[in-house]
């Protein structure tokens, strides 16, 4: 039975990690899954995970959020964008990520995930552009903010996924050690 719970934890951890591509809080999905596993899973033996590992995962999830927020905000702010532009980038990136997941690229499995990342960036670009234009900014300035939002979204997501990768490794190590 412990093997089944550990296997389910690994599956949920992988899904959580991948869900970041469409703008979902994948690192927090990992934390929630591990917290549930710590609470309901085995308390001793090979497949047990302790509170120490859960604490490390929480700290890493916070770090991932900081990395993503700083990268996205820095992109919009550096280009002279407004708060409305940043909110437009955020909402556009979520919509774009979901659309990209379903539209996909003609590459099996990886195509949908790559498209979710690219479309998330494009959604950030369009969202920031529309928000800045709605505020009366000229086309070139709005486009510049949109491009910065695109780059910030890509860099932020990749940074957060790197932190998520470390979280997956910590989870797997905690299961085995």
The tens digit of pLDDT for each residue in 3-50 reads: 899 999 999 999 999 988 877 899 999 999 999 999 998 888 777 899
What's the Cα-to-Cα distance from 148 to each of 14, 90, 114, rounded to whole Å? 30, 12, 19
The tens digit of pLDDT for each residue in 102-147 reads: 777 677 767 777 888 888 899 999 999 999 999 999 999 999 999 9
Domain count, the chain: 1
**pLDDT the model gives residue 75:** 87
**pLDDT the model gives residue 109:** 67
Domain hosting 58: range is: 2-176
Question: Which one is predicted more confidently, 135 or 100?
Answer: 135
Strands (E), 67-139: none
| Among 13, 149, 131, CA closest to 71 | 149
Q: CA-CA distance, 170 to 60, in Å (whole number)? A: 10
* Burial tier of 52 (Cβ tally within 10 Å: 0-12, 13-18, 19+): exposed
pTM for the model: 0.81
Average pLDDT estimate for 79-94? 90
């Amino acid at each position: 039975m412990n093997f089944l719970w550990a296997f389910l934890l690994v599956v949920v951890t992988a899904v959580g990690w991948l869900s970041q591509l469409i703008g979902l809080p994948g690192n927090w999905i990992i934390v929630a899954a591990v917290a549930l596993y710590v609470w309901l899973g085995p308390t001793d033996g090979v497949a047990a995970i302790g509170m120490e590992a859960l604490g490390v995962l929480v700290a890493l999830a916070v770090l991932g959020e900081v990395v993503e927020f700083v990268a996205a905000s820095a992109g919009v702010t550096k280009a002279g964008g407004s708060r409305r532009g940043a909110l437009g980038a955020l909402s556009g990136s979520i919509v774009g990520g979901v659309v990209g997941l379903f539209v996909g690229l003609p590459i099996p499995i990886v195509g949908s995930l790559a498209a979710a990342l690219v479309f998330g960036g494009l959604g950030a670009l369009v969202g920031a552009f529309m928000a800045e234009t709605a505020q009366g900014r000229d086309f070139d300035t709005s486009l510049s903010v949109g491009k910065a939002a695109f780059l910030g979204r890509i860099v932020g997501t990749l940074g957060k996924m790197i932190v998520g990768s470390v979280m997956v490794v910590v989870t797997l190590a905690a299961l085995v050690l």
